[in-house]
Amino acid sequence: MAGKAVEKRRPEVDPRDEPSAAWGWHGSFPKATRIAGWVSAIILLVMIKGNHENNTENVWLVGLALFLVLLLVLDIRKRRTAWRK
């Protein structure tokens, strides 16, 4: 059954444009990427507790964590509304 799906996609992907299509890999790790994003945001917030002498480091850590969370929330929203298009 998976073979038929791969056969349908082969004409769309040219191995000259994307060499990985020649041996069957053409995709990404969406679930692992989302998990890594959430873990990275949490680690950034945990790093606030440290030996900082001023708040410059804290501002960067919180800012980067908020940016990651924003991207992850936008991704959730995009996945929820993808079927409407």
b/e burial code for range 12-24 (CB count within 10 A of at least 16 → b): eeeeeeeeebeee
Residue 8 lies in a domain: no
pLDDT digits 0-9 by tens, 10-46: 556 666 666 665 566 666 778 899 999 999 999 999 9
Residue 42 lies in a domain: yes
Predicted pLDDT at 6:
52
User: Among candidates 40, 32, 30, which has minimal Cα distance to 67?
Assistant: 40
Residue 66 lies in a domain: yes
Residue 40 lies in a domain: yes
Q: Distance (Å, rounded) from C-alpha 60 to C-alpha 72? A: 18
Q: Distance (Å, rounded) from C-alpha 24 to C-alpha 18? A: 11
pTM above 0.75, yes or no: no
> What's the number of domains the chain is made of?
1
